[in-house]
Amino acid sequence: MPVVVDMDGRLVSPREATVSVFDRGFLYGDSVYEVVRTYAFRPFELTRHLERLGRSARRLALTLPWDAARIRAELLRTLEASRGGDPADPPETAPWNAGERSIRIIMTRGAGEVGLDPALAVEPRAIVIAGPLRAPPARAYREGAGCRIVGVRHDAPDAVDTTAKTGAHLSNVLAMKEAREAGAHEALLLDRDGFVTEGASSNVFAVRGGRLETPSLAAGILEGVTRGIVIELAQAEGLPVREAALRPDDLAGADEIFITSTAREILPVTVLDGRAVGSGRVGPCTTRLHASFRRRASGSEEALV
């Protein structure tokens, strides 16, 4: 069974999985979630993801129906149930992604009488979905991808859904629509003052003058798990890292750009707004950091718990 859903502790097929039309996650995006991927069929950095899930829930004052130990146990059970029956991976699948899983953990405030008051929710709902990992093809890591700075603006830094990973994603959906219509892989969003914040589903890094730069968490961006690992790896490799306020011109003049996310790892960006980034080829810093990331992902026992 390639896709398995755990609904409140009960394993079911996608066809059997249902959510009430009165669930607040469906009605208002009143939910938190995490996406975890596997390497060698084992969850990667699960502890970091569960810690962020807890922070997101506290930000929304949402009581999780399961504690971290229960979430971990249910995730592993769902993952194991998803073994076998996969369609063949496309020929261009990156070798480290073949046969791997993407696992989505969703916690909603629950169903209840229609209304914005959170007290109307009856019980929180817990859902775990395990299915084949869908990630960029191998050629994207050799040739790079394109990004587009879109007109959709990033929400204000004090907006709850910028610092919590919630089910409210309309801005990101519209940003992605704009980017894809322009032929780009990912959308980059600016804040109200015109500074670069993050991608629709990624964090963004630039290499300028031998230094790695990325927008600060103070800009109201999501604290990406992969983002944090990349900063650690860069520091370990002696590459200077700075959290900086970046304008679109700073990205346009960068030597290298890459984006990070759970599924993409470190994806080089060689085209920004239809123009070549730097030499137009995947840069040495990006290559070096991705190699370090791959070593950590494939060889670290500590990272796989």
Co-location of 171 and 292 in the same domain: yes
Residues 34/222, Cβ–Cβ less than 8 Å: no
Confidence class of residue 163 from pLDDT cuts 50, 70 and 90? confident
Average pLDDT over residues 98-102: 96
- Domain ranges, residue 158: 139-304
Co-location of 53 and 144 in the same domain: no
Co-location of 44 and 192 in the same domain: no
Residue 181's contacts (CB-CB under 8 Å, 6 or more residues apart) are none
Co-location of 41 and 98 in the same domain: yes
140-153 pLDDT per residue, tens: 999 999 999 999 88
Proportion of the chain above pLDDT 90, given as a percent: 88
Task: Kindly tell me if the per-residue pLDDT of 302 is higher than 50.
Answer: no
Co-location of 200 and 111 in the same domain: no
- pLDDT on residue 5: 92
Task: Kindly tell me if the per-residue pLDDT of 251 is higher than 70.
Answer: yes
> Across-strand partners of 261?
265
212-240 pLDDT per residue, tens: 999 999 998 999 999 999 999 999 999 99
Residues 265/228, Cβ–Cβ less than 8 Å: no
- Give me the number of domains the chain comprises: 2
Choose between 2 and 45: higher pLDDT: 45
Co-location of 127 and 179 in the same domain: no
Task: Kindly tell me if the per-residue pLDDT of 301 is higher than 70.
Answer: no
Residue 62's contacts (CB-CB under 8 Å, 6 or more residues apart) are 30, 31, 32, 107, 109, 124
- pLDDT on residue 305: 37
Gap between the Cα atoms of 301 and 289, Å rounded: 19
Proportion of the chain above pLDDT 70, given as a percent: 95
Co-location of 148 and 229 in the same domain: yes
189-206 pLDDT per residue, tens: 999 999 999 999 999 999
The whole-model pTM stands at: 0.94
Q: Which two tokens stand for residue 92?
A: 């261009």
Confidence class of residue 161 from pLDDT cuts 50, 70 and 90? low
Tell me the pLDDT of the chain averaged across its residues: 93
One-letter amino acid for residue 70 of the chain: R
Co-location of 46 and 106 in the same domain: yes
